[in-house]
Amino acid sequence: MQKPYHTVRARFLRADERPFSSETPETPFVIEPLRFSDGAFLSDFLSWESEQIICDLATYGALLLRGFQIDSMNEFERQILAIRGMDAIDEVLMSEPGRTLVEGTRCVFHTNTLIKTGGTLSFGGFHTENYYVADVPGVISFFCLKPSWQGGETGLLNTARLYSALPDALKQALEAKAFSVSRESLVSIANRYDLMLPEIEEFCIKHDLSVVDHETGKQMVLYKPSVLVHPVTGERSLAINFTGELGRVGFVPILREAFLSDYSGMRWAIHRASWRHPGLVQAGENLRTIILRPKVALPILVKQWLAWLRKSQTIAPKAQEAETIGSIFTETDVRLVARLMRRYYSAFRWEKGDILIIDNLKMAHAGMPGFGRRNLKVIISNRINMPCSSNGGGVYAPATNERSESFGAKLRTLEKRRKLNCRE
C-alpha cells in the first residue's frame, strides 16, 4: 500500500503532461519537490525512503522524479545509487553495439552511440530491457539531459495487465517452455573479452548457458522464459522484445495501425508517410550512422548484413531446433497484442532534469517518434538470475531483492586474471 511522503509531493500525471490519452493514469507515479529541490535533499530522501520507493515502483511500474536540481550524469548516478538495494550493472555480457559507458561515471551508459533512439521517424521498439542478452536488470533508470522538441517520449507498456488479458491457450503455450532469443559465436565472445575458446566454453557450461555445434563453429544459444512472476506484487507479465520477436510475424504495421490515431494532423504527416515506406527510413538511419561514425558503424553494418545473409541460407540442423517465441503467435494473437499495447500504454512529455525509474519486471518501454535531438542516459541495475538454458521452463519467479553479479563482470574478472598471469 502506498504511504504518504511528508517531504515531497507525490501525485499522478496531469492531463497537460501527457501527449496521449491513457488507461493507466497511475503510471508513471510522480515525485516532485515540496520545499527543497537540491540534489543533496533528493539523495537523502531516496535513501531514507528506499523501502517505500521500491514498493511504489512495484505498484505503479514507473516513478518520475521531476523538478529536482539534477544537471549532470554524475549527479544522476549518485541519486540512483542512493536508493538502498539498488545495485548497478556496469558490464553486460555481449551488450549491444553502441551501449557504452559515459566517461567519468561508474555505471551510466549512453542509450546508444550508433543509433538514435526516440525522436525519429521510426515507430515501434517496445521491449523489456536486455531481452537478447543473459544479464537482465530488474530496474532501468533514464535521465533526460535534453528532450526532443516534438515527441520523443519514452513510451511505457504495462506488460502485467497485457498478459492478464491474453487468451488462456496462449498463456499456456508461453508458460510451457523457454524460447530461443539469441545466439553468439564463442569466437566473438572470446575476442570481446580477450580469452581463449576453451575458457569461454567452460564458462558457458559452468553457468548453464547452452553451447551448440554449428557449421560456422560453436555457438552460445540463449533461451529465456517469457513470463515473469513479480516478487512484490505476484503479477505475471510478458517479458519479451515485442517489436523484435513479433515483428517476424508481421507485427509492426499492425502495431502502427493501433497507435495511428495518436499521430494525426499535419505535424505528424512526415512520420505517417515514412511508415508507408519503412525501408527508406532504415536506409536513411544507416546512412546517418555511417556519416557520423564511419569507423565504428561500417563493421557493425557489415556484420548485420552477413548475419541476414546467413539466415537466408540453409542452417545446420542443430540450429533449426531453437524455436523462437514468435512462432506460437497467430495473426489473431498479434492483432490482440497490438490492441492491448495501446490500451495499457502511457507516456509523458520529457523535461530536462527528469529521472524515470522503470520496473523492468512488469513494464516494457520504447523511444517514441518525434523530431529533434533527444539526449537520455541510462543506468541498469539489480540483475536477476534468469535461467538462460534450453532446460528452463517458460515461467520465472525472481526472489525478493534478488541480485547477482553479471556474466559480463565475471568475464571481465577472468580477463584481468589472465592478463595478470601473462605478465607474471
Phi-psi label, residue 368: left if phi above 0, alpha if psi -120 to 50, beta otherwise: beta
**Whole-number pLDDT of residue 248:** 86
**Whole-number pLDDT of residue 304:** 54
Among the listed residues 216, 193, 263, the one whose alpha carbon sits nearest the alpha carbon of residue 406: 193
**Whole-number pLDDT of residue 424:** 58
Lowest mean pLDDT among 246-250, 304-308, 356-360, 376-380: 304-308
- For residues 55 and 231, the answer to whether their CB atoms sit within 8 Å is no
Residue written as grid cell 575458446: 197
d(CA 35, CA 225): 45
Lowest mean pLDDT among 226-235, 251-260, 296-305, 380-389: 296-305
Share of the chain above pLDDT 70, in %: 88
Q: Which residues contact 249 (CB under 8 A, 6 or more apart)?
A: 326, 327, 329, 331, 334
- The domains found in the chain, sorted by start residue, are 1-175+223-402 (3.60.130.10)
Lowest mean pLDDT among 106-115, 126-135, 377-386: 106-115
- Tell me: the pLDDT tens digits for 60-108? 999 999 999 999 999 999 999 999 999 999 999 999 888 999 999 999 9
Strand pairing category for 210-212 and 150-151: unpaired
**Whole-number pLDDT of residue 39:** 97
- pLDDT surpassing 60 at residue 400: yes
**Higher-confidence position of 249 and 230:** 230
| Interior angle at CA 355, CA 2 and CA 364, nearest 5 | 75
- pLDDT surpassing 50 at residue 311: no
Beta bridge partners of 236: 229
**Whole-number pLDDT of residue 285:** 59
Residue 421 CB burial class (10 angstroms; 0-12, 13-18, ≥19): exposed
Residue 276 CB burial class (10 angstroms; 0-12, 13-18, ≥19): exposed
Share of the chain above pLDDT 90, in %: 77
**Whole-number pLDDT of residue 30:** 98
Among the listed residues 365, 394, 398, the one whose alpha carbon sits nearest the alpha carbon of residue 127: 365
d(CA 144, CA 357): 12
- pLDDT surpassing 60 at residue 316: no
**Whole-number pLDDT of residue 284:** 55
**Whole-number pLDDT of residue 319:** 37
- pLDDT surpassing 50 at residue 318: no
- Tell me: the pLDDT tens digits for 195-215? 999 999 999 999 999 999 998
Strand pairing category for 29-33 and 150-151: unpaired
Q: What is the mean pLDDT of the chain?
A: 90
- Tell me: the pLDDT tens digits for 258-307? 999 999 999 999 999 888 876 666 665 555 555 555 655 566 556 555 55
d(CA 342, CA 156): 10
Among the listed residues 86, 64, 34, 38, the one whose alpha carbon sits nearest the alpha carbon of residue 350: 64
- pLDDT surpassing 60 at residue 151: yes
d(CA 42, CA 251): 42
- Tell me: the pLDDT tens digits for 21-53? 999 999 999 999 999 999 999 999 999 999 999
